[in-house]
Structure 1
Amino acid sequence: MHLKNLLIFLFLISALSSCISTKQLTLLSEEESVANDSTHVYQTQKTPYKAQIGDVLSITVKTTDQNLAQLFNPVSNSEANIGNSTSGSYFNGFSVDLHGNIRIPTLGEINVLGFTLDEIRVKIESLLLRDYFKTEASFFVTVKLSGFKFTVTGEVGSPGTKSLLQDQLNIIEALANAGEVSFTGNKRDVKIIRQYPEGQKIHSIDLTKATAFQSPYFMLKPNDIIYVRPLKQKSLGTGTTAVQSLSTILTVLTLLTTTILLTTR
């Protein structure tokens, strides 16, 4: 009788420790008081991106003077669009070197480190007005990132480095492009490794709560690394579903019972 009670106790403890709750699996859950309020709005924190070393910028100068246009845009649009758009932008874009500079035909080196894309555009326009154009109406400058590059690793369906042709990206979109968080991924403590001028910093965000929208890390920055940690249930090796977990536990307890019975005879 004592052995039976012990086995039941072990079974219950194992079952409880191996269960993955719905709260651990659900994204962006709201508190009950908020969920009943259809007018509640979550404000995301968006800040302009500042150029960093290693970035590749796509810069285009548009003007009615085709000779000047060819001078500032030596690679034509048709050439730039050959093959993959992201790789085309990488080879034809302007790389930010170790000194924070880019080199533009006829304009030379321009320091862009720590400047927003709008600030870089204004810099280029000022140089063009000084040396080549009489009025701002004579030309139009666009400055964009050649691609939004980020890396996702850990408990996701398709880990790796991704690059999307868009200016802004949130963490939900990034994870969706990486095959979603796996069943054993810890959505409550997703790590974001972000690059700063002084080095790398690690941040955390809880994606199981709707308040994640208000986190300064909900909106990603180019070159961010997202790491989804495994739940402790994975280290226990109890399976990814309730059936698998119970099957594993029953197998272990059966072996344990058999061993005890054989050794006590």
Structure 2
Amino acid sequence: MDRKNTNLHIKSSPRRGKEIAFPFLKHIFFLVVGGVLLTACASQKRVHYLQDVQANEQIQIAQNYQIRIKPLDRLTIVVNSQDPELAAPFNTASSFNSLTGTPLTTTTTSSTALQTRTVDENGDLEMPVIGTIHCEGLTRSELAQKIADMIREGGYIKDPTVNIQFADMKISVLGEVTRPGQYDITSDRISLLDALSLAGDLTIFGRRSDVMVIREDHGIRTTAILDLTSQNIYESPYFYLQQNDVVYVKPNKYKAQSGEISQNRSFYISLVSTAVSVATLIVTLTK
């Protein structure tokens, strides 16, 4: 009688093992899924731009900004005329100095390198034939008009046209963007949003409410913080960028946690693997 009861008890063991193992696995599964979702999810609201802008809302931009010339800027200046020979002396590496009356060595060329001139630390520019021009604070079009007027009033050319381009205007975009780096700028006006677009937009880890713009002017470096989630960025003097500005996108808290999330996922995977092994062992031993 005792032997029979013992056999019956052993036969019922596999079922009891499964009853123990499967609920255990079920709880582990939901624990893992919940843990991964909680650690991986970021608030959708944190990644939206201009959250306080309503549909069809008109926003007045505070300033109609154009990039202005600064000391040490390099400008490509080309003077044209219906008579190319008259314009040629203005497009040389050096020419006659009208201030001293001293003839200098003249090299006529169409090379962009020889037509590129550097604004000195005082904001002045040396032009062949007409001499020194103060250009700091002027836009490209304003300087072009000023040079054309000086050429015309000096009696050199009746119909001068002047084309000016920034030779090496750059901005830098760093931090949590898709393509951090330095970018050449050809437009007279570039906004912070334009610069971020060039860099491929912010990553999911970029702090949109805390974007830094670093600007240097006359040896003084200033820093501004702009909030991309608010329409107030349009009122900032840093919304439109200047030459050599640096944009830095700070990482949000999820960036710091991303390493922990990866570690947590590894932990959960290890936990599932261990749980499956334990459950399998329980079922095997109770057969």
| TM-score, with structure 2 as normaliser | 0.66
Structure 1 residues 133 and 250: CA distance shift in structure 2, 3 A: closer
Of residues 197-206 and 47-56 in structure 1, the stretch that sits farther from structure 2 once superposed is 47-56
Structure 2 counterpart of 1:142, from 130, 154, 163 = 163
Structure 1 residues 132 and 230: CA distance shift in structure 2, 3 A: same
Q: For the aligned residues, what is the CA RMSD? A: 3.3
- Maintained 8 Å contact 2:119/2:125: yes
- Maintained 8 Å contact 2:179/2:200: yes
Structure 1 residues 16 and 214: CA distance shift in structure 2, 3 A: farther
Amino acid at match of 2:118: S
Amino acid at match of 2:81: T
Specify the alignment match of 1:30 in structure 2.
52
Q: 1:179-198 counterparts in 2 under 5 A?
A: 179-197=200-218
1:50-92 CA-partner distances (Å, limit 9, x unpaired): 3112211122222112211111124766x54xxxxxxx6xx74
Q: 1:169-248 counterparts in 2 under 5 A?
A: 169-197=190-218, 199-238=220-259, 245=261, 248=263
Give the drift of 1:17: 7.6
Give the drift of 1:140: 2.0
Give the drift of 1:139: 1.7
Specify the alignment match of 1:152 in structure 2.
173
Of residues 150-159 and 123-132 in structure 1, the stretch that sits farther from structure 2 once superposed is 123-132
Aligned mates of 1:76, 1:179 — CA distance in 2: 39
Task: State the SS of the aligned residue for 1:40.
Answer: coil
Amino acid at match of 1:22: Q
- Maintained 8 Å contact 1:117/1:143: yes
- Maintained 8 Å contact 1:148/1:168: no
1:182-217 CA-partner distances (Å, limit 9, x unpaired): 121111111001122351100111112344334332
Task: State the SS of the aligned residue for 1:233.
Answer: helix
- Maintained 8 Å contact 1:19/1:233: no
Specify the alignment match of 1:127 in structure 2.
150
Amino acid at match of 1:26: H
Specify the alignment match of 1:85 in structure 2.
none
Aligned mates of 2:206, 2:139 — CA distance in 1: 35
Specify the alignment match of 1:249 in structure 2.
264
Of residues 202-211 and 117-126 in structure 1, the stretch that sits farther from structure 2 once superposed is 117-126
1:210-246 CA-partner distances (Å, limit 9, x unpaired): 443343322211111100111122123347xxxxx4x
1:94-126 CA-partner distances (Å, limit 9, x unpaired): 211233222222222322223333442343234
Task: State the SS of the aligned residue for 2:251.
Answer: coil
Task: State the SS of the aligned residue for 2:256.
Answer: helix
- Maintained 8 Å contact 2:67/2:189: no
Q: How many residue pairs were aligned?
A: 226
Gaps of 5+ in 1: 1-7, 81-87, 240-244, 259-265
| TM-score, with structure 1 as normaliser | 0.71
Structure 1 residues 73 and 46: CA distance shift in structure 2, 3 A: same
Give the drift of 1:43: 2.5
Gaps of 5+ in 2: 1-30, 93-107, 275-287
Specify the alignment match of 1:45 in structure 2.
63
